[in-house]
Structure 1
Amino acid sequence: NVERLFIKGLNQRQYDLEKKKQQEEAELKQTKDIELFISQKWQEAEMNCQILLSKLKLKQRKNLNNLTYLIPKIDEDEYMEIKYIIGILFQMYKRDNCENDKLSSVSLSSLDLQIFQFIQSNDIEKIRKYPYLLHSYTNKIYKFLKFSTLRKLQPYIIPSIIRSIIGKRLTNAYGIWSMDDESGGNKVSSGYSLYPSASFFNHSCNPNVINIEKGRKVIFKLLRNIKKDEELCINYDSFINDDFEIRQNVLKEWFFDCLCERCVEEMNLKNTKK
């Protein structure tokens, strides 16, 4: 009976969470001020975490083992997101606590973090297109970080920082790929990483630079000779000979309409035929 009631309780909790998620998605679609709505949900997530922590004694809070029951279940995508966030948080911690350390890796991290601040965030556009992400970010990822991350990183786990880290990743990250022998040598995604300097490349459907991903490194090579004052551009996706409309549809994931030379030429040709 105890086991049956326990399982029933878990199922009921999962049902309640799913119902709350659907309710939030419906509210998001109806809201007139999506930016305010998203900000409120992040603040609610922080308040809920603080309320749960306030019910524990100080000694209990210091031991992560006492918080395991508060940690939400996550899926593979959320796990990847959390890995990425913690990586950034560690870089922030190193920057703020290793000022006297002359290791080049620390100084490079500091430079990357300075550049990181200027990267565009696209969380509002992404959540508008995929409303379910807001629940994932605020009710699962944020709580997971709050209740499972080392104490030294806790000062960085606040809504503004976590939201910024996620938002900057959405349209700026590069995939990390490895070869899978079991699948005949096909590439398998093992996560993603963000290279701040590389995030400033613009897109072109006729790029003059190619990005080659090798493990955790991204190498950029010229595809042709570059003219004076010519902008260096990469292809955000992998299409080469795809139709104009197909390319434009794919690029909507980056929230812009491509007006590169190739697209403008094909668009004019298409309009002429009409």
Structure 2
Amino acid sequence: MSIVEIIILALIQGLSEFLPISSSAHLILPSVLLGWTNQGLAFDVAVHVGSLLAVVIYFREDIGRMLVAWLSHGFTKQQTDDSKLAWWVILATIPAIVMGFLFKSYIEVYARSALVIACTTIGFGLLLWYADATAKLRKNVYEITWKSALIIGLAQVLAMIPGTSRSGITMTAGLMLGLNRESAARFSFLLSIPVILGAGVLITYDLVQSPTDVDWNVLIYGAVLSFFSAYLCIYLFLNWISRIGMLPFVIYRLLLGAIILGIIYW
């Protein structure tokens, strides 16, 4: 991989993992427009590690409180706000694990076309706009119930379809359930930790099984760039989202979907 490819692909991963704009929709463009080959399993592992470190370090205080509360109160009747939030993250992750195990191969074979990505980028972008425009924005992250967590977790399953955006669909569900924008984003980011970790483990397993030569310099550059872009993305998004809303991302998704459709048919 050239240094330009490393920079662009690592930045795409770091930014699109957390913004509601679909990483798969962006990762298809370099190969279609520029003729780049697949970056390989090793690079996928590296940029996932960078993104995971970014979200863990950014939410280190929240994670620390949740972990301590879960270990001390999570299995008692005296649940705290943080122990319940930890349980809701676990609960919301289960549907993705189950459905990913059952349908991962099917999705990879039948749903990774550019047309599917264009349609889901536009369709779920419009759904995000509707959720944001009609949202009551009353609840904070500690007001999530087990039913709300399960619904958000079921919505996350839709992100298996390329172009949906994991962060986008979970924020959409959160907004529809009455969460304010920052809380919907915060729960989505916390929910990304087990998902990114799981994806990284699966990719690492595939990497170990393949006879691939590893260029460690490429991996280090990719991980570092992914980390800094993801951390900056999380920081700016949480600080701006209450003011700007989801409309800029909806418009971006519509334009991106139109570009992909244009590439397909023209």
Same fold (TM over 0.5): no
Please give the TM-score of this superposition, normalised by the length of structure 1.
0.23
> Is the radius of gyration larger for structure 1 or structure 2?
1
**What is the TM-score normalised by the length of structure 2?**
0.23
Larger RCO (CA under 8 A, 6+ residues apart) = 2
